[in-house]
Structure formats: C-alpha cells, structure tokens
C-alpha cells in the first residue's frame, strides 16, 4: 500500500524545516520499503493576507481522506496570532477530534541541558496534552468596549469525551512505559473544570490499578520540571498547561527546535496531524539556520502512528547518532554554526 500524507508547510521557518526534511524522509522510507505520497497545501498567512482566510472553506473535506497530515508552523508578523492559530491548526485539531496531543521530551546524548547535571537519557518523559478544548475553547466575548465597565469573558470548556479521551490515552501510555502517571491541574483555584478533570482521572484510573498516579498543581509542577525532571514519565494536562509545560520540557532537553508533537484522533476515524512544537520563528526566518530535528522527530511519530516502527526507529537512530557525534553539523540553537540543509544532509548519511 501507499500512504497519502497531506503536507502544510505554513509560515516562517515552517516551509524551511518541512521542505529540507522531506528529502531525508523520502530516502528513509525508500530504504525501508515504505511507499508514500505527499500533497502540498500552501495554506497559511500569505493566503490569509491575499484571500482573507488561512485555508479554503472545504479544507477539512480535502484533508479527510489522507492517512496523516504534516504541518510546519503558522504565524506571521502581519496577522494577529489568534487568527493564524484558530484559522488553521485549531480548526483541524477540533474538526478531526484530535483530542490527544502527545509530546515527548527526551534529552539526547550530546545535547547540553541548561540543567547541567543531567546527561543523555536522564530526562525522558511524555506529556499528554488535551488538544481540542479546555482553556482554548473559543468561548467568550467582549462587551462595553471603551467604557469604564468594559469586560472580557473567556471560558474554559471540559467535556467528558474530550477529558476521558486524553486521560485514557495517558493511562494506556503509562502501562506501556514505567507505570507512573502525573496528573497536573490547578484544581485548588479552578474548582469546576479541573475538579471534574480530577474526578475523571480517578474514574479512569480504576481501570488501570497497576498505574501509580501522582497529582501536582501546575505551579509546583513547573518548579519540579526544573528541580527533578528525571522523575517524570507520563504526564497528563489540560490544553493550556500542556502547551506551557511542553515548551518548558523542550527547553530542559536542549532546544525548542528539537521537540516533536502529534495531534491524534485515537478512534482513527479522522487523520492525525504531526508537527514540530515550535512556531514560525520570525526572528530566524530566511536565515537557513532553523533546526530541522523537531520536524524529523515529528515524522518519526507519524510513522509510529501508522505502524511503520522500523522506519520510525531509523529516523530516531539517525538523530541520536548525529547528536552524539561531536564532529557532526548542528544548528546554532544547540551550540553549532551549521544550517538546516547541512544537518539534513548529514542525517541522510546516517539512515540505516
């Protein structure tokens, strides 16, 4: 069979990392007898500036039939961030019920953590972030603009389906990893949505008696990400908290440019979407120095999701070997002076 993947490079460094990584991904797939075709969609902020919408009105119908979607990043200095985010990424994650955002944080050998006492492999956890609702529900409004009594309301939404799905995915992952799940909320302050969330963790947890559940408030958890990151294994958190904690996770394993992400519909009714954690990074756009490794590792997650374990492993191993080699090219975010292309060219030589 041939897999069909829709590719949306997006804005800023999105097309830089996506297009360069493609040569590597194609070569690795060929080496593992995996056949796939990509269709490129030039959706994003340039389209918004020209036509008033990030994607065409029938975008979801056009994406529906693919085996997976690969996204670069969206975000443009001339377009408000809430427009770019809601007009593309969130429309896809919500429309395709990609309730589960899985984001591993792994400290590779050869990468220096800002937490200097940790060595390769010491930090190895995965965050399961609720991906379709919570604090990112588009619920609220503004009233009395310009008057003294001006107000803004922003509501968080927690549904049983959305919460149970992410919690179950995290428990499943915990059974396959070290049997430990850390549930991160703020249920002391947010006594409705987050206490509901905690109740669901308790409820679903009864089906997984072998998994040890730790509960942390997000403020304390932020400190513990810095103080004892080696003790985390599987983490489950709401949309906002998961978003923040995974940038922190990327920071402590060396760079945002290394971090991969997946947006998964566990029912597999809709295609899942894979993307590096980082955004469009206007500050380095066009300089040719964006780190492509977050993108390569996101392709690893894509192949894992589609059951192509050997191909996924080959991408992972190439990255691990490159990072462990002090003579290999690396981008400036991880202390090197090479560009995106040189890093990808070197990875191509390391595919087995």
User: Is residue 275 at the binding interface for Mg ion, with CB under 5 A as the rule?
Assistant: no
Residue length, the chain?
Answer: 352
Considering beta carbons, is residue 280 or 322 the nearer one to ligand NAI? 280
Binding residue count for Mg ion, defined by CB under 5 A: 1
Q: Is the dihedral of CA 282, 284, 285, 291 positive or negative?
A: negative
Considering beta carbons, is residue 333 or 346 the nearer one to ligand NAI? 333
Binding partner at 256 among Mg ion, ligand NAI, none, C-beta below 5 to 8 Å by kind: ligand NAI
Identify which of 187, 189, 188 has the alpha carbon closest to the alpha carbon of residue 201: 187
Binding partner at 75 among Mg ion, ligand NAI, none, C-beta below 5 to 8 Å by kind: ligand NAI
The answer to whether the CB of 212 falls within 8 A of the CB of 180 is: yes
| Range 224-263, binding Mg ion (CB under 5 A) | 243
Sheet holding 2-10, edge to edge: 35-40, 2-10, 68-73, 272-276, 260-264, 100-106, 124-130, 234-237, 180-185, 212-217
d(CA 285, CA 75) in angstroms, rounded, equals 11
Residue span 333-352 as binding mask against ligand NAI, x where in contact by CB under 6 A, dash where not: x-------------------
Binding partner at 243 among Mg ion, ligand NAI, none, C-beta below 5 to 8 Å by kind: Mg ion
Answer for which of 9, 44, 75, 104 binds ligand NAI (CB under 6 A) is: 75
User: Is residue 311 at the binding interface for ligand NAI, with CB under 6 A as the rule?
Assistant: no
Considering beta carbons, is residue 110 or 242 the nearer one to Mg ion? 242
In Å, how far are 30, 109, 253 from 121, measured between CA atoms?
Answer: 29, 7, 10
Q: Strand 151-154 to strand 180-185: parallel, antiparallel, or no bridges (unpaired)? A: unpaired
Residue span 184-223 as binding mask against Mg ion, x where in contact by CB under 5 A, dash where not: ----------------------------------------
Residue span 262-301 as binding mask against ligand NAI, x where in contact by CB under 6 A, dash where not: -------------x--xxxxxxx-----xx--x-------
State the angle between helix axes of 293-305 and 309-324 in degrees (0 to 180), rounded to the nearest 10.
160
Considering beta carbons, is residue 135 or 243 the nearer one to Mg ion? 243
User: Is residue 257 at the binding interface for ligand NAI, with CB under 6 A as the rule?
Assistant: yes
| Range 78-107, binding ligand NAI (CB under 6 A) | 81, 84-85, 89
**Phi, psi for residue 221 in degrees, rounded to 5:** -60, -40
Residues that bind Mg ion (CB under 5 A): 243
Residues that bind ligand NAI (CB under 6 A): 13, 17, 73-75, 81, 84-85, 89, 256-257, 275, 278-284, 290-291, 294, 331, 333
């Amino acid at each position: 069979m041939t897999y069909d993947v829709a590719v949306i490079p997006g804005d800023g460094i999105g097309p830089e990392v996506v297009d360069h990584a493609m040569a590597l991904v194609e070569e690795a797939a060929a080496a593992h007898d995996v056949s796939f075709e990509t269709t490129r969609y030039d959706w994003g902020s340039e389209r918004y500036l020209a036509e008033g919408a990030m994607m065409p009105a029938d975008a979801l119908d056009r994406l529906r039939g693919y085996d997976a979607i690969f996204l670069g990043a969206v975000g443009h200095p001339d377009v408000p961030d809430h427009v770019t985010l809601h007009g593309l990424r969130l429309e896809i994650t919500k429309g395709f019920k990609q309730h589960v955002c899985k984001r591993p944080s792994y400290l590779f050998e050869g990468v220096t953590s800002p937490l200097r006492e940790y060595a390769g492999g010491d930090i190895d956890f995965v965050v399961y972030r609720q991906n379709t609702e919570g604090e990112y529900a588009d619920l609220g409004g503004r009233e009395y603009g310009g008057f003294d009594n001006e107000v803004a309301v922003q509501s968080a939404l927690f549904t049983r389906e959305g919460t149970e799905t992410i919690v179950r995915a995290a428990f499943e992952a915990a059974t396959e990893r070290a049997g430990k799940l850390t549930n991160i909320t703020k249920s002391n302050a947010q006594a409705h949505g987050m206490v509901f969330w905690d109740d669901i963790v308790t409820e679903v947890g009864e089906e997984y008696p072998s998994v040890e559940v730790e509960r942390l408030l997000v403020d304390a958890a932020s400190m513990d990400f810095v103080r004892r990151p080696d003790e985390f294994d599987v983490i489950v958190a709401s949309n906002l908290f998961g978003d923040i904690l995974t940038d922190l996770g990327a920071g402590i394993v060396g760079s945002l440019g290394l971090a991969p992400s997946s947006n998964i519909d566990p029912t597999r009714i809709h295609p899942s979407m894979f993307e590096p954690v980082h955004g469009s990074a206007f500050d380095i756009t066009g300089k040719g120095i964006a780190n492509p490794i977050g993108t390569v590792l996101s392709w690893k997650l894509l192949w894992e999701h589609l059951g192509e374990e050997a191909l996924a492993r080959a991408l992972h191993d190439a990255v691990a070997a490159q990072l462990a080699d002090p003579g290999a090219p690396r981008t400036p975010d991880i202390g090197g002076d090479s560009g995106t292309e040189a890093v990808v060219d070197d990875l191509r030589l390391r595919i087995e």
